[in-house]
Structure 1
Amino acid sequence: WMTGGRFDFDDGGTYCGGWEDGKAHGHGICTGPKGQGEYAGSWSHGFEVAGGYTWPSGNTYQGYWAQGKRHGLGVETKGRWMYRGEWSHGFKGRYGVRQSLSTPARYEGTWSNGLQDGYGVETYGDGGTYQGQWTGGMRHGYGVRQSVPYGMATVIRSPLRTSLAS
Structure 2
Amino acid sequence: MSAPEVIVDNVEQALTSVDRTKSVDAISDRDRSSISINGESFRASSESTAFSVGDFVLPNGESYSGTLLGNVPEGNGKYVWSDGCVYEGEWRRGMRHGNGKIQWPSGAAYEGEFSGGYMHGAGTYVGSNNLTYKGRWRLNLKHGLGSQVYPNGDIFEGSWIQGSPEGPGKYTWANGNVYLGNMKGSKMAGKGTLTWTNGDSFEGSWLNSMMHGFGVYTWSDGGCYVGTWTCGLKDGKGSFYPKGSRLQAVEERYLNALRKRGYFQI
TM-score category, normalised to shorter length:
0.7 to 0.9
Residue of structure 1 in register with 2:113 after alignment: 42
Q: Do the aligned partners of residues 135 and 54 (structure 1) sit closer, same or farther apart at CA in structure 2, a change above 3 Å counting? A: same
Residue of structure 2 in register with 1:89 after alignment: 162
Aligned identity (percent) is 30
**Matched ranges for 1:19-98 at <5 A:** 19-35=91-107, 37-48=108-119, 49-78=121-150, 79-98=152-171
Contact 2:75–2:90 (Cα < 8 Å) also in 1? yes
d(CA) in 2 for partners of 1:111 and 1:129?
Answer: 18
Structure-1-length-normalised TM-score: 0.84
Structure 1 residue 57: Cα displacement: 1.3
- Consecutive unaligned residues in structure 2, runs of 5 or more: 1-68, 223-266
Q: Which amino acid aligns with 2:160?
A: W
d(CA) in 1 for partners of 2:84 and 2:106?
Answer: 6
Contact 2:106–2:128 (Cα < 8 Å) also in 1? no
Structure 1 residue 14: Cα displacement: 0.4
**Matched ranges for 1:146-157 at <5 A:** 146-149=218-221
Structure 1 moving runs of 4+ over 4 Å = none
Residue of structure 1 aligned with 2:195, choices 120, 123, 144: 123
* Higher strand content, 1 or 2: 1
Q: Which amino acid aligns with 1:128?
A: D
> Tell me, what secondary structure is at the counterpart of 2:106?
helix
Structure 1 residue 147: Cα displacement: 1.6
Contact 2:170–2:180 (Cα < 8 Å) also in 1? yes
Larger radius of gyration: 2
Deviations, residues 27-85 of structure 1 (Å, cap 9, x unaligned): 101011232x1000111111112110001211100000011110000000012211110
Structure 1 residue 100: Cα displacement: 2.6
Contact 1:13–1:34 (Cα < 8 Å) also in 2? no
User: What is the RMSD of the two structures over their aligned residues, measured on CA atoms?
Assistant: 1.5
d(CA) in 2 for partners of 1:52 and 1:38?
Answer: 8
- Consecutive unaligned residues in structure 1, runs of 5 or more: 151-166
Residue of structure 1 aligned with 2:173, choices 96, 100, 105: 100
Contact 2:182–2:190 (Cα < 8 Å) also in 1? yes
Contact 1:70–1:90 (Cα < 8 Å) also in 2? yes
d(CA) in 2 for partners of 1:112 and 1:85?
Answer: 12
- Number of residue pairs the alignment of both structures matches: 148
d(CA) in 1 for partners of 2:184 and 2:173?
Answer: 20
Contact 1:12–1:34 (Cα < 8 Å) also in 2? no
d(CA) in 2 for partners of 1:69 and 1:147?
Answer: 39
